[in-house]
Structure 1
Amino acid sequence: MKKIVQVNSKKELGTFIDFPHDLYKDDPNYVPELFIAQRDLLTKHPFHKHNELQCFLAYDGDKVTGRIAAILNNAHNEHNKRNDGFWGFFDCINDQETANMLFDTATKWLKDKGVDQKSIGPVNFSTNEACGLLIKGFDSPPMLMMTYNYPYYANFIEKYGFEKQMDLIAWHWDGDGYDDKSIRLLGALQERLKRNNIVIRKVDLKNFKSEVEKVREVYNSAWDQNSGFVPFTDAEFDWLAKDLKLILDENFVYVAEQNNKIVGFGLALPNYNEIFKKIKRGRLLPTGIFKLLLGKKNIQSIRIYALGVIDGYRKMGIEACLYGSIIKEYRERGLKHAEAGWTLENNVLINEAIKAIKGDPYKTYRLYEKDI
C-alpha cells in the first residue's frame, strides 16, 4: 500500500537523507552528499530561524520510494512581494503515481500555510543553495554544490502540471580550453583599473571575518536583480562562509577593491565531488575522513561558484580581470576541467562574456512553477 509519511523523528530524517544512496546505487555519475552536512542543513541552518520546512517520505509497504520537502521561504516572499511556496530535496522511483502523491502532499502543506500564488522548485531552500532540475548533461557527475537527478524526473514534473520558469546554465572547459586572450589582457586591464584606484587581489584569509562582511554586501547587491533572488541574512552568509573556508583555496578567490571598498569578487572552488563520489553513503567515519584529507591534493577540477560586480562598476573590465585571474591559476596548475555555473539563461551580459572565453554550455538545469 502506498502512503506518505511526515518526517518527524531523527530516524526518519536519517532515512530521508539516505534514500538517494539506494535510488542511485547503480548510477556511475551519482555523488553522495555528506550525511553530516545534509543533516545540519535540514535542522541547524539559520534559514530555519525565519522560514519553515517539512520533509516527507513516500512508502510502498515498508519500502521507501520517494522523498520531498515543502518549503515556506518568508524571506523570498518579503523581498519579491510574493506569496509563493517551494519544494526541494525531491527524489523518486520511476513511478508517476508516487511522484504525484509527493507533489500533492507538498502542495497541501503549502496551502495550509497560506500560500496562494506559485509552487516553485526544485530548490533546496532558495537559489542561494543547490537548485534546479538537471535536464541536459547526464553524461558526467555534478560539480560541487550542483544537483543531479534521473532524466525521468522532468516527465513527472511536467505531467503533474509544472511549467518552465527559468533555465540555469553550467559552462565547461577542458584542460587548456580557456581562451588565452583572458590571460593576455589581464595585465593591461589591471593597469587601466588602477587608474581608477581599483585593484584586483587575492582574499586575505588572515582577516577572513572582515573580508566576509565586505563580500556579503557585494553579493546581496550584485545579484539583487536576478530572478527569484533572496538576500542572505548575516547569519546565513556566515554559515556559508564558514563551510566554504574549510574547502576554499585562496589562489582561486579574488576581490576587486577601490579605496578599501570591495566592489566585486570571484570565487572558484576545488571540486570536492571528486572525493565525495568515493565516500560510501556520505559517511566520513570510519574511513571517509581519510579519503577526504588524502584526496584533496589530487583534485583535478574547479567550479567557478560566484562572480559578481556591484552596479556602477560593471563594464569596466573588472569581470574580465576576475575571470582572468582564476583562469591563470587554473592553467598554471594544469587542471583538467573547470565549470562556471550556474548563470541565468536570460543574463545576456555574463553569458556572452563566458562564450567569448570559449565556455561550453554543457549542462542545463530547470526551475519549474505551477499555480497553487
Structure 2
Amino acid sequence: MHVVEVGANARYQKEFIQFPVRLYRNDTCWIRPLDTDVEEVFDPARNKRFEHGECVRYLLLNEKQETIGRIAVFVDHEIANLDNDQPTGGCGFFECINDQSAAFMLFDAAKKWLLSKGMEAMDGPINFGDRDRWWGLLVDGFDREPNYCMPYTKTYYIPFFENYGFKDYFKQFTFGIPTTWAKLVDMSQAVKERAQRIYQNPDYSFRTIDKNQLPQAAEQFRHIYNAAWGGHSGVKEMSAEQAQVLMQKLKPVIDEKIIYFAYYQDEPVAFFVCLPELNQIFKHINGKLNLIGKLKFLWHVLLKTNHKAFGVVFGVAPEHQGKGVEAAIALRMPHEADHNPNFQYTELEMNWVGDFNPIMVRFVSQLGSKIVKTHVTYRYLFDQTKLFKRCPVIGRRK
C-alpha cells in the first residue's frame, strides 16, 4: 500500500469521487452526493477558505494500483487558533476499506502534512468549510438515509478513529420531529402552552418568506443570526455579503412555505429556516446534475414526491429568548400543517444540534422529538501526553 497526493492528476481526482460509489454499492441507505458539491470544496475558485487556508487530498492505493482509501487534510490559518489550546487543522472526506492499517496510513499522511504547517492537533472528519456540511462521523442511525451534504459512513470507521487516538470532541444530534400536532405525543405540555401564548399575543406575528424579496429576508436573517449566535465560542458573525450569497445559493431549492420568521411589533426577532430534504430527490440522480439530472430533479419537484423537510438553522434574538418564542417558531410547521390538509411534508429532521449546546438539546427534546442520528466530531492531539479537553459549552462569550 502507498499514499499518493491527488493534486492536479485528473485520474486521481476522478478516483476521489468514484471510490465511495464502489465502497457503498451494497449500502441501501447511502445516497451518492452530487459530484459538484464535493468538487467545490477543493476548488479555490469556489471555496473561499482557500483565501486563508490550504488543503491537500490523498488516495491510498494497493499493489494493483487500485484505490482502497481517501482523505482530505486542510488548515484554515484564520481559525486554527480560535478557541483552541493549540493550533488545530482538520481532516475529512475519509473513506477506506475495512483494514485498520490502511486507515492508519491515511491518518499518518494527514498528521504529517499538518505538522509541516505548524499544527498540533487535527479534528475530523470535518469539512474544509462551514459546519453545516460534511461534518462528523456517523455513530448511530445507520438505518436512516443521510440528509443533504451530511455524512453517511461505515460502522467500522468508529474503531479506526478511536484506536488511532482520536477522542470525542463533541457530538451532533439529528432529531426527528412529527409535523402534526396530533403526533407530538411526547411534547412537553409547558412548551406547548408557551407556544400557544405567543400565537395568541397580537404583538407577535409569523410569516413565511417571499422569493421576490430575498435580499430583505437575507438581511433580517443576518440581523437575528448575529444577535443570537454571533460572539459565541467558535461562531463568527455573518456579514451582509455572506447573508446575501447564502440566500441566493439557497434560492433554487427554497420552499417558501417552510422558512419562518417571527416578528414582534413588525420587528424581526426569530427565524427557523427549513428546506426540502434534497437527498430525497438527489438519490434518483446518481450524483450527476447534468441535463438529465436537472430534468429528473424538476420532475420530482413538480410532482412533490418529497415529503421530508429538515431544519437548517434556528435563532431567536436574545431579548426574546425564554418567553416562548423559541417554541412558537420551532413548532410553526406542525401549526401550519394542522391548518392545511394538503401540507406536503410529513417528516421533519433537525439536522445539527451539538451536545455543547445543552440548552438547545433539552429544548428540542421537549418538542416531542427523538434523536434519530448521532455524529461525532473527533479531535486528535499530536502530543498524546497533553490534556484533552472537549468542546466548551456554548454560551461563553469571547
- Give the alignment's TM-score, normalised by structure 2: 0.84
Structure 2 counterpart of 1:290:
295
Which structure has more helix as a fraction of its residues? Answer: 1
Q: CA deviation at 1:329?
A: 3.3
In the TM superposition, 1:66-215 aligns within 5 A as 66-77=69-80, 79-80=82-83, 83-116=87-120, 118-125=121-128, 126-174=130-178, 176=180, 177-179=183-185, 186=195, 188-192=197-201, 194-195=202-203, 198-215=204-221
Separation (CA, whole Å) in 2 of partners of 1:4 and 1:245: 39
**C-alpha contact 2:173 2:351 (8 A) present in aligned 1:** yes
Q: Give the drift of 1:4.
A: 3.0
Question: Structure 1 CA distance, aligned partners of 2:316 and 2:135?
Answer: 22
Aligned to 1:55, the other structure's residue is in SS state: strand
Distance 1:102 1:261, change over 3 A: farther
Query: 1:346: Cα distance to partner?
Result: 3.8
Checking the alignment, whether the CA contact within 8 Å between 1:200 and 1:321 is kept in structure 2 is no
In structure 2, the CA distance between the partners of 1:73 and 1:289, relative to structure 1 (3 Å rule), is same
What SS does structure 2 have at the residue aligned with 1:65?
strand
Q: 1:259 to 1:75 in 2, by over 3 A?
A: farther
294, 311, 315: which one pairs with 2:318?
Answer: 311
Aligned to 1:53: 55
Work out whether 1:266 is the aligned partner of 2:276: no
Q: State the superposition RMSD in angstroms.
A: 2.5
Could you tell me how far 1:265 is from its partner in structure 2? 1.1
Q: Secondary structure at the match of 1:368?
A: strand
Give the match's secondary structure for 1:3.
strand
1:366 aligns to what? 376
Is the contact between residue 46 and residue 235 of structure 1 (CA under 8 Å) also seen in structure 2? no
Give the one of 238, 241, 244 matched to 2:247: 241
* Residue range with higher mean Cα deviation, 327-336 or 16-25: 327-336
Q: How big is the shift at 1:11?
A: 4.2
Q: Does 1:276 align with 2:282?
A: yes
Cα 1:231–1:149 shift into 2, 3 Å: farther
Deviations 1:15-49 (A, max 9, x none): 21222111111110011111122222321122222
Q: C-alpha displacement at 1:178, in angstroms?
A: 2.8
- Percent identity, aligned pairs only, is 27
| Structure 2: runs of 5 or more not aligned | 383-398
1:62 and 1:329 map into 2 onto residues whose CA distance is 56
The 1:73/1:233 distance shift into structure 2, 3 A limit, reads: farther
Structure 1 match to 2:66: 63
TM-score scaled to structure 1, two decimals? 0.89
User: Which has the larger displacement, 234-243 or 361-370?
Assistant: 234-243
More moved, 139-148 vs 298-307: 139-148
- CA separation in 2, counterparts of 1:32 and 1:242? 24
Quick one: structure 1 residues 188 and 174, their matched pair in 2 at CA, closer, same or farther if it must change by over 3 Å?
closer
Other-structure match for 2:354: 344
Distance between the aligned counterparts of 1:67 and 1:220, measured in 2? 36
Label 1:8 to 1:29 Cα distance change in 2 as closer, same or farther (>3 A): same
Q: Alpha carbons of 1:360 and 1:47: their partners in 2 closer, same or farther (altered >3 Å)?
A: same
- Structure 1 position 93, deviation (Å): 1.1
Distance 1:8 1:237, change over 3 A: farther
Q: Deviations over 1:217-242 (max 9, x none)?
A: 43344234665434555555444333
The amino acid of 2:214's aligned partner reads F
1:354 and 2:354 correspond: no
Give the corresponding residue for 2:336. 329
Pair 238,72 (structure 1): closer, same or farther in 2 beyond 3 Å: farther
Name stretches of at least 5 consecutive residues in structure 1 with no aligned partner. none
How many residue pairs end up in the alignment? 367
Provide closer, same or farther for how the CA distance between residues 184 and 290 of structure 1 changes in structure 2, counting only shifts above 3 A.
Answer: farther
SS at match of 1:312: helix
Give SS of 1:76's match. Answer: coil
Tell me, yes or no, if the aligned pair for 2:228 and 2:318 is still in contact at 8 Å.
yes
Shift of residue 344 of structure 1? 1.4
Name the SS for the 1:279 alignment partner.
coil
Given that 2:93 and 2:134 are in contact with CA atoms closer than 8 Å, whether structure 1 keeps it comes out as no
Amino acid at match of 1:285: N
